[in-house]
Amino acid sequence: MSLEILSFGFMQRALISGAAIAILCSVVGLFLVLRRYSLFGDAIAHSSFGGIALGLMAGIYPLWTAYGVSLVSALIITRIKDRFNISGDASVAVLLSSGIAVGLVIIGISGGFTIDIFSFLFGSILLVSVNDTIMILALTGIILIVVLLLYRQLLYSTFNEEQAQVSGIQVEKINYLIVFMAGVTVVTSIQLVGVLLISALFVIPNVTAIMYGKGFKQTALLSITFSIFSVVTGILVSYVFDIAPAGTIVLLSIGLFAGTIGIRSTGLVKT
Protein backbone atom coordinates (compact mmCIF):
# COMPACT_ATOMS: atom_id res chain seq x y z
CA MET A 1 0.00 0.00 0.00
CA SER A 2 1.63 3.23 -1.16
CA LEU A 3 1.95 6.13 1.30
CA GLU A 4 1.19 8.47 -1.60
CA ILE A 5 -2.53 8.16 -0.92
CA LEU A 6 -2.00 9.89 2.43
CA SER A 7 -1.06 13.08 0.56
CA PHE A 8 -4.57 13.41 -0.85
CA GLY A 9 -6.75 15.93 0.98
CA PHE A 10 -9.89 13.79 0.82
CA MET A 11 -8.00 10.83 2.28
CA GLN A 12 -6.59 12.94 5.12
CA ARG A 13 -10.08 14.21 5.95
CA ALA A 14 -11.49 10.69 5.78
CA LEU A 15 -8.86 9.27 8.14
CA ILE A 16 -9.10 12.13 10.64
CA SER A 17 -12.91 12.07 10.63
CA GLY A 18 -12.97 8.28 10.75
CA ALA A 19 -10.63 8.12 13.74
CA ALA A 20 -12.71 10.71 15.61
CA ILE A 21 -15.92 8.82 14.89
CA ALA A 22 -14.27 5.54 15.95
CA ILE A 23 -13.39 7.03 19.34
CA LEU A 24 -16.84 8.57 19.74
CA CYS A 25 -18.71 5.35 18.91
CA SER A 26 -16.52 3.28 21.23
CA VAL A 27 -16.97 5.59 24.21
CA VAL A 28 -20.71 6.19 23.88
CA GLY A 29 -21.37 2.65 22.67
CA LEU A 30 -19.71 1.13 25.72
CA PHE A 31 -22.30 2.71 28.01
CA LEU A 32 -25.10 1.42 25.77
CA VAL A 33 -23.69 -2.11 25.62
CA LEU A 34 -23.18 -2.28 29.39
CA ARG A 35 -26.76 -1.07 29.87
CA ARG A 36 -27.95 -3.84 27.51
CA TYR A 37 -29.04 -1.22 25.00
CA SER A 38 -26.85 -2.52 22.20
CA LEU A 39 -29.47 -1.96 19.50
CA PHE A 40 -30.43 1.53 20.66
CA GLY A 41 -27.84 3.06 18.33
CA ASP A 42 -29.30 1.08 15.45
CA ALA A 43 -32.78 2.29 16.34
CA ILE A 44 -31.67 5.93 16.41
CA ALA A 45 -29.93 5.43 13.06
CA HIS A 46 -33.12 4.12 11.52
CA SER A 47 -35.13 7.01 12.95
CA SER A 48 -32.57 9.38 11.41
CA PHE A 49 -33.51 7.89 8.04
CA GLY A 50 -36.83 9.69 8.35
CA GLY A 51 -34.99 12.93 9.13
CA ILE A 52 -32.69 12.48 6.15
CA ALA A 53 -35.65 11.90 3.84
CA LEU A 54 -37.38 14.97 5.27
CA GLY A 55 -34.29 17.11 4.70
CA LEU A 56 -33.90 15.93 1.11
CA MET A 57 -37.56 16.65 0.42
CA ALA A 58 -37.38 20.12 1.99
CA GLY A 59 -34.07 21.03 0.37
CA ILE A 60 -32.32 21.26 3.76
CA TYR A 61 -28.93 19.73 4.54
CA PRO A 62 -30.12 16.21 5.51
CA LEU A 63 -27.87 15.77 8.53
CA TRP A 64 -29.40 18.79 10.26
CA THR A 65 -32.91 17.35 10.00
CA ALA A 66 -31.51 13.93 10.94
CA TYR A 67 -30.08 15.39 14.15
CA GLY A 68 -33.42 16.95 15.03
CA VAL A 69 -35.59 13.94 14.26
CA SER A 70 -33.23 11.44 15.89
CA LEU A 71 -32.83 13.37 19.12
CA VAL A 72 -36.52 14.13 19.49
CA SER A 73 -37.49 10.53 18.70
CA ALA A 74 -34.94 9.09 21.12
CA LEU A 75 -35.96 11.41 23.96
CA ILE A 76 -39.68 10.77 23.39
CA ILE A 77 -39.35 6.99 23.25
CA THR A 78 -37.16 7.04 26.37
CA ARG A 79 -39.77 9.11 28.18
CA ILE A 80 -42.55 6.73 27.11
CA LYS A 81 -40.45 3.74 28.22
CA ASP A 82 -39.92 5.23 31.69
CA ARG A 83 -43.46 6.54 32.04
CA PHE A 84 -45.26 3.34 31.05
CA ASN A 85 -42.59 0.80 32.09
CA ILE A 86 -42.10 -0.58 28.58
CA SER A 87 -39.18 -2.99 28.17
CA GLY A 88 -36.02 -1.70 26.54
CA ASP A 89 -36.10 -4.04 23.55
CA ALA A 90 -39.74 -3.16 22.81
CA SER A 91 -39.04 0.58 22.87
CA VAL A 92 -36.04 0.08 20.58
CA ALA A 93 -38.22 -1.89 18.13
CA VAL A 94 -40.80 0.91 18.06
CA LEU A 95 -38.15 3.55 17.40
CA LEU A 96 -36.45 1.45 14.71
CA SER A 97 -39.58 0.61 12.74
CA SER A 98 -41.13 4.08 12.97
CA GLY A 99 -38.04 5.80 11.55
CA ILE A 100 -37.91 3.53 8.52
CA ALA A 101 -41.67 3.85 7.98
CA VAL A 102 -41.57 7.65 8.06
CA GLY A 103 -38.63 7.70 5.66
CA LEU A 104 -40.32 5.38 3.17
CA VAL A 105 -43.55 7.42 3.24
CA ILE A 106 -41.65 10.67 2.62
CA ILE A 107 -39.71 9.09 -0.25
CA GLY A 108 -42.98 7.88 -1.74
CA ILE A 109 -44.62 11.31 -1.43
CA SER A 110 -41.59 12.97 -3.02
CA GLY A 111 -41.47 10.56 -5.92
CA GLY A 112 -38.05 9.21 -4.96
CA PHE A 113 -34.65 10.84 -4.59
CA THR A 114 -31.33 10.81 -6.38
CA ILE A 115 -28.26 8.79 -5.45
CA ASP A 116 -27.87 11.03 -2.35
CA ILE A 117 -30.08 8.77 -0.26
CA PHE A 118 -27.74 5.83 -0.87
CA SER A 119 -24.71 7.74 0.43
CA PHE A 120 -26.53 8.14 3.74
CA LEU A 121 -27.67 4.53 3.82
CA PHE A 122 -24.23 3.05 3.11
CA GLY A 123 -21.83 5.86 4.09
CA SER A 124 -19.60 8.18 2.06
CA ILE A 125 -16.54 8.87 4.22
CA LEU A 126 -14.32 9.64 1.21
CA LEU A 127 -16.61 12.55 0.33
CA VAL A 128 -16.34 14.27 3.72
CA SER A 129 -15.69 18.01 3.32
CA VAL A 130 -13.49 20.29 5.41
CA ASN A 131 -16.60 21.66 7.17
CA ASP A 132 -17.80 18.13 7.89
CA THR A 133 -14.42 17.25 9.39
CA ILE A 134 -14.43 20.33 11.61
CA MET A 135 -17.97 19.54 12.79
CA ILE A 136 -17.09 15.90 13.53
CA LEU A 137 -13.99 16.91 15.51
CA ALA A 138 -15.92 19.57 17.44
CA LEU A 139 -18.76 17.22 18.39
CA THR A 140 -16.29 14.49 19.34
CA GLY A 141 -14.40 16.91 21.59
CA ILE A 142 -17.57 18.18 23.26
CA ILE A 143 -18.95 14.71 24.00
CA LEU A 144 -15.62 13.41 25.30
CA ILE A 145 -15.33 16.42 27.63
CA VAL A 146 -18.85 15.75 28.94
CA VAL A 147 -17.99 12.09 29.55
CA LEU A 148 -14.82 13.03 31.44
CA LEU A 149 -16.61 15.63 33.56
CA LEU A 150 -19.47 13.28 34.44
CA TYR A 151 -17.45 10.07 34.43
CA ARG A 152 -18.35 9.00 37.97
CA GLN A 153 -22.08 9.64 37.53
CA LEU A 154 -22.18 7.89 34.15
CA LEU A 155 -20.29 4.88 35.42
CA TYR A 156 -22.20 4.55 38.67
CA SER A 157 -25.64 4.84 37.05
CA THR A 158 -24.63 2.31 34.39
CA PHE A 159 -23.57 -0.45 36.79
CA ASN A 160 -25.94 0.18 39.72
CA GLU A 161 -28.80 2.53 38.99
CA GLU A 162 -30.59 2.05 42.30
CA GLN A 163 -27.47 2.64 44.38
CA ALA A 164 -26.65 5.67 42.26
CA GLN A 165 -30.05 7.17 43.10
CA VAL A 166 -29.47 6.54 46.81
CA SER A 167 -26.11 8.30 46.47
CA GLY A 168 -27.83 11.42 45.17
CA ILE A 169 -27.03 11.02 41.48
CA GLN A 170 -29.81 12.28 39.22
CA VAL A 171 -30.09 9.03 37.31
CA GLU A 172 -32.99 10.13 35.09
CA LYS A 173 -31.02 13.12 33.81
CA ILE A 174 -27.97 10.93 33.26
CA ASN A 175 -30.09 8.49 31.26
CA TYR A 176 -31.37 11.30 29.06
CA LEU A 177 -27.83 12.59 28.63
CA ILE A 178 -26.66 9.19 27.39
CA VAL A 179 -29.58 9.05 24.97
CA PHE A 180 -28.75 12.55 23.74
CA MET A 181 -25.06 11.70 23.25
CA ALA A 182 -26.01 8.49 21.45
CA GLY A 183 -28.27 10.43 19.08
CA VAL A 184 -25.55 12.95 18.24
CA THR A 185 -22.97 10.19 17.81
CA VAL A 186 -25.18 8.13 15.50
CA VAL A 187 -26.01 10.97 13.10
CA THR A 188 -22.39 12.16 13.12
CA SER A 189 -21.25 8.63 12.25
CA ILE A 190 -23.69 8.13 9.38
CA GLN A 191 -21.16 9.61 6.96
CA LEU A 192 -18.73 6.83 7.85
CA VAL A 193 -20.77 3.63 7.71
CA GLY A 194 -24.29 4.78 6.84
CA VAL A 195 -27.63 4.11 8.48
CA LEU A 196 -27.63 0.37 7.85
CA LEU A 197 -24.31 -0.50 9.52
CA ILE A 198 -24.01 2.10 12.27
CA SER A 199 -24.73 -0.32 15.12
CA ALA A 200 -21.59 -2.28 14.20
CA LEU A 201 -19.32 0.54 15.40
CA PHE A 202 -21.30 0.85 18.63
CA VAL A 203 -21.39 -2.84 19.45
CA ILE A 204 -18.66 -4.98 17.88
CA PRO A 205 -15.49 -3.22 19.18
CA ASN A 206 -17.03 -2.96 22.65
CA VAL A 207 -18.16 -6.58 22.79
CA THR A 208 -14.71 -7.63 21.56
CA ALA A 209 -13.02 -5.55 24.27
CA ILE A 210 -15.36 -6.82 27.00
CA MET A 211 -14.35 -10.41 26.18
CA TYR A 212 -10.85 -9.68 27.49
CA GLY A 213 -12.28 -9.33 31.00
CA LYS A 214 -10.50 -6.12 31.98
CA GLY A 215 -11.68 -3.17 34.07
CA PHE A 216 -13.82 -0.39 32.64
CA LYS A 217 -10.98 1.95 31.64
CA GLN A 218 -8.92 -0.83 30.07
CA THR A 219 -11.99 -2.12 28.23
CA ALA A 220 -12.68 1.38 26.90
CA LEU A 221 -9.09 1.74 25.68
CA LEU A 222 -9.20 -1.68 24.02
CA SER A 223 -12.48 -0.82 22.32
CA ILE A 224 -11.10 2.49 21.04
CA THR A 225 -7.99 0.70 19.74
CA PHE A 226 -10.03 -1.95 17.92
CA SER A 227 -12.38 0.66 16.50
CA ILE A 228 -9.63 2.99 15.23
CA PHE A 229 -7.77 0.05 13.69
CA SER A 230 -10.90 -1.15 11.88
CA VAL A 231 -11.83 2.31 10.62
CA VAL A 232 -8.40 3.51 9.51
CA THR A 233 -7.41 0.18 7.95
CA GLY A 234 -10.85 -0.17 6.37
CA ILE A 235 -10.66 3.25 4.72
CA LEU A 236 -7.17 2.59 3.33
CA VAL A 237 -7.97 -0.92 2.10
CA SER A 238 -11.27 0.15 0.54
CA TYR A 239 -9.55 2.91 -1.43
CA VAL A 240 -6.73 0.69 -2.67
CA PHE A 241 -9.04 -2.13 -3.77
CA ASP A 242 -11.97 0.11 -4.75
CA ILE A 243 -14.50 -1.53 -2.44
CA ALA A 244 -17.13 -0.15 -0.07
CA PRO A 245 -15.49 1.51 2.99
CA ALA A 246 -18.41 0.81 5.33
CA GLY A 247 -18.50 -2.90 4.58
CA THR A 248 -14.72 -3.18 4.84
CA ILE A 249 -14.69 -1.45 8.23
CA VAL A 250 -17.39 -3.72 9.61
CA LEU A 251 -15.74 -6.88 8.26
CA LEU A 252 -12.46 -5.89 9.93
CA SER A 253 -14.33 -5.37 13.21
CA ILE A 254 -15.90 -8.79 12.84
CA GLY A 255 -12.44 -10.22 12.10
CA LEU A 256 -11.11 -8.81 15.39
CA PHE A 257 -14.14 -10.24 17.18
CA ALA A 258 -13.59 -13.66 15.61
CA GLY A 259 -9.89 -13.49 16.49
CA THR A 260 -10.77 -12.73 20.10
CA ILE A 261 -13.10 -15.73 20.20
CA GLY A 262 -10.21 -17.82 18.89
CA ILE A 263 -7.90 -16.50 21.61
CA ARG A 264 -10.54 -17.10 24.27
CA SER A 265 -11.05 -20.66 23.08
CA THR A 266 -7.36 -21.38 23.65
CA GLY A 267 -7.65 -20.25 27.26
CA LEU A 268 -5.09 -17.46 26.85
CA VAL A 269 -7.67 -14.87 27.91
CA LYS A 270 -9.79 -15.49 30.97
CA THR A 271 -12.58 -13.42 32.50
Give the mean pLDDT of 27-42: 87
Give the mean pLDDT of 13-38: 92
Residues 152-211: pLDDT tens digits?
A: 999 999 888 888 888 888 988 898 899 899 989 988 888 788 877 888 899 999 999 999
Give the mean pLDDT of 224-231: 96
CATH, residue 42: 1.10.3470.10
Three-state secondary structure readout of the chain: CCHHHHHCHHHHHHHHHHHHHHHHHHHHHHHHHHCCCCCHHHHHHHHHHHHHHHHHHHCCCHHHHHHHHHHHHHHHHHHHHHHHCCCHHHHHHHHHHHHHHHHHHHHHHHCCCCCHHHHHHHCCHHHCCHHHHHHHHHHHHHHHHHHHHCHHHHHHHHHCHHHHHHCCCCHHHHHHHHHHHHHHHHHHHHHHHHHHHHHHHHHHHHHHHHCCCCCHHHHHHHHHHHHHHHHHHHHHHHHHHCCCHHHHHHHHHHHHHHHHHHHHHHCCCCC
Residue 256: pLDDT over 60: yes
Count of domains for the chain: 1
pTM as predicted: 0.88
| 190 within domain boundaries | yes
- pLDDT of the residue at 1: 54
In terms of residue numbers, what domain contains 112?
A: 7-195
| 85 within domain boundaries | yes
